[in-house]
Amino acid sequence: MQGLMMNTPLMISSLIRHADRCHGDSEIVSRTLEGPIHRYTYRDAHLRARRLARALPRLGVEPEDRVATLAWNGYRHFELYYAVSGSGAIIHTINPRLFHDQLVYIVNDAEDRMVFFDLTFTPLVEKLAPLCPGVKHWVALTDRAHLPQSALPGLSCYEDLLAAESDDFEWPEFDENTASGLCYTSGTTGHPKGVLFSHRSTILHAFAIALPDAKNLRATSSVLAIVPMFHVNAWGIPYSAPMVGAKLVFPGAALDGASLYELLESEAVDSTSAVPTVWMNLLNYMTQNKLRFSTLKSSTIGGAACPPAMMKTLSEQFGVRVHHGWGMTEMSPVGTVNAPKGCHQGLSEEAKFQLALKQGRPLYGVEMKVVDGQGTELPRDGKSAGEVLVRGPWVLRRYYKDAGGNPLATDGWLPTGDVGTIDKDGYLQITDRSKDVIKSGGEWISSIELENIAVGHPSVAEAAVIGIRHPKWDERPLLIVVKRSDADLSKDEMLKFYEGKVAKWWLPDDVVFVDELPHTATGKLSKLTLREQFKDYRLPTC
């Protein structure tokens, strides 16, 4: 017997319509590239999103078409989130920090029809345009007065598009499993792979992260979305905030300590999320200037492990409680968030701190287990470490265009590539990652790609790249090289060899020459041994 309740589909457009009806006066505040702070309400955002939804088909966008953005966090990007997905097309948020060749690959692989870009990225899109013939329109996210002088084919102005439309538009209803958004992971080997979210997965994820033990969002909250909207949808905040009617604050391109602090204070922010690197800059700025928060009492930190010292400083000096979170693009992205349970109240301060360092408990909806090399589930004892596998309604089943084949284990769970433990209360602790990517400032650097380039140098016999801890960037790459016998190669010469082959921030921070590299029994480089050997290595950039 079937239940007899309505089958109303979970539509992304319903979030903004709800925010308009029930929280129409709640503010959205954005730092803009043009200069002044922009302020308006959910009602205004909904009106403009409907105008944009009318403009899209006039530019040839049909349901399921990919519409890309190269943009910072701001109100126009927010309108695109709703207009594109709401009208049945797919918003493809591109990470502008990727290397040029990867950007070209991504735009072509996604088959983007249009790209909306912030003024910062005008020189970038001018370079991309000739290599992306499928893109028919490049739209600058600005008004006519600020439209760049550019020979981009099909260049239009965002505000002109909106001005030409009325807001007489009803959001269509369709299958909630329809694709809504596309975001590429920067893969460790080969090309980046696309993760395709649906309306249903996005809404369920938004519900889950709004809960009290996750982001604790409410109509009275003021939320600063620091995590970029091009990095897994700013961890879902642009969907959760309208769901509860919270005030939403966007920092634009200004992610430095001074600018973030100013916004946190002027907008009375009481909720935010960021990677450890951003926090590091903010804390340095605040310490140097002897500043304190007036309203911020807690923050989610994730994307990379939150260093214990940072968690201590935040709590003891700045009165901010850290909720450590973990996830990945393939999980929309949030899987776990750390919050204590009633039974932890009696713990000593030190035991509470050790618990808070863990990556947290799974949100309802995400199931998690750790397995050994044979795929056998390990005990939930907080000690047995194995690969972390997940499943749930906002976890990836297949990559876009089936890139990389079937990513799932035989039992249908998704292997995350992370290694960790789960304790009896369900708290996950990440102990390592099975991939050897280097996490720099919340972004990925592929060690394999850097190694491949190094061994392309005629004087290099073998090379390995490992991440070395860095106080500002979390990790930076160290290149370890075995020279060919009698070859003459200096550090500067080696680094120069990377020029034009990778983005500047991918460049190894240092080069070490050794006689030989350690190998495993099967002849592979033993990164584990290398990491052990170089665990106390100090980079010149530290």
Residues that bind ligand AMP (CB under 6 A): 185, 232, 302-305, 324-326, 328-329, 333, 359, 416-418, 430, 433
Q: Which is nearer to ligand AMP, 433 or 457 (CB)?
A: 433
Residue 417 CB, nearest distance to ligand AMP (Å)? 6
Which residue in the list 69, 93, 142, 185 is annotated as catalytic? 185
Q: Which is nearer to ligand AMP, 12 or 301 (CB)?
A: 301
Q: Which is nearer to ligand AMP, 71 or 445 (CB)?
A: 445
State which H helix or E strand residue 31 sits in. Answer: strand 27-31
- Residue 330 falls in the annotated catalytic set: yes
Distance CA 155, CA 505 (A): 30
Q: Which is nearer to ligand AMP, 238 or 245 (CB)?
A: 238
CA 84 to chain centre: 20
Helix (H, G, I), strand (E, B) or coil at 455: coil
CA 150 to chain centre: 30
Residue 436 CB, nearest distance to ligand AMP (Å)? 11
Residue 85 CB, nearest distance to ligand AMP (Å)? 20
Helix axis angle, 42-58 relative to 13-23, nearest 10°?
Answer: 150
Distance CA 309, CA 478 (A): 23
For 179-205, letters b (16+ CB in 10 Å) and e give bbbbbbbbbbeeebbbbbbbbbbbbbb
Tell the burial category of 368 from Cβ atoms under 10 Å away from its Cβ (0-12, 13-18, 19+).
buried
Phi, psi of 473 (to 5 degrees): -105, 5
Task: Return the ∠ at Cα 325 (arms to 265 and 536), rounded to 5°.
Answer: 100
Residue 322 CB, nearest distance to ligand AMP (Å)? 10
Q: Which is nearer to ligand AMP, 26 or 300 (CB)?
A: 300
Helix (H, G, I), strand (E, B) or coil at 467: strand
Cβ-contact 503, 453 below 8 angstroms: no
Question: Which residue carries 């972004």 as its tokens?
Answer: 443
- Residue 401 falls in the annotated catalytic set: no
Q: Which is nearer to ligand AMP, 18 or 312 (CB)?
A: 312
Which residue in the list 79, 159, 176, 330 is annotated as catalytic? 330
Residue 469 CB, nearest distance to ligand AMP (Å)? 13
Closest CA to 111 of 231, 199, 200, 196: 196
Which residue in the list 439, 451, 483, 506 is annotated as catalytic? 439
Cβ-contact 420, 359 below 8 angstroms: yes
Beta-carbon contacts of residue 353 (< 8 Å; ≥ 6 apart): 308, 311, 312
Q: Which is nearer to ligand AMP, 331 or 460 (CB)?
A: 331
Residue 65 CB, nearest distance to ligand AMP (Å)? 25
Distance CA 455, CA 483 (A): 10
Distance CA 229, CA 96 (A): 11
**According to DSSP H, which parts of 211-256 are helical?**
237-244
Q: Which is nearer to ligand AMP, 55 or 334 (CB)?
A: 334
What's 218-271 look like in SS3?
CCCCEEEECCCCCCCHHHHHHHHHHHHCCEEEECECCCCHHHHHHHHHHCCCCE
Closest CA to 95 of 105, 85, 86: 105
- Residue 79 falls in the annotated catalytic set: no
Residue 338 CB, nearest distance to ligand AMP (Å)? 9
- Residue 439 falls in the annotated catalytic set: yes
Residue 406 CB, nearest distance to ligand AMP (Å)? 19
Catalytic positions, written as ranges = 185, 330, 439, 444
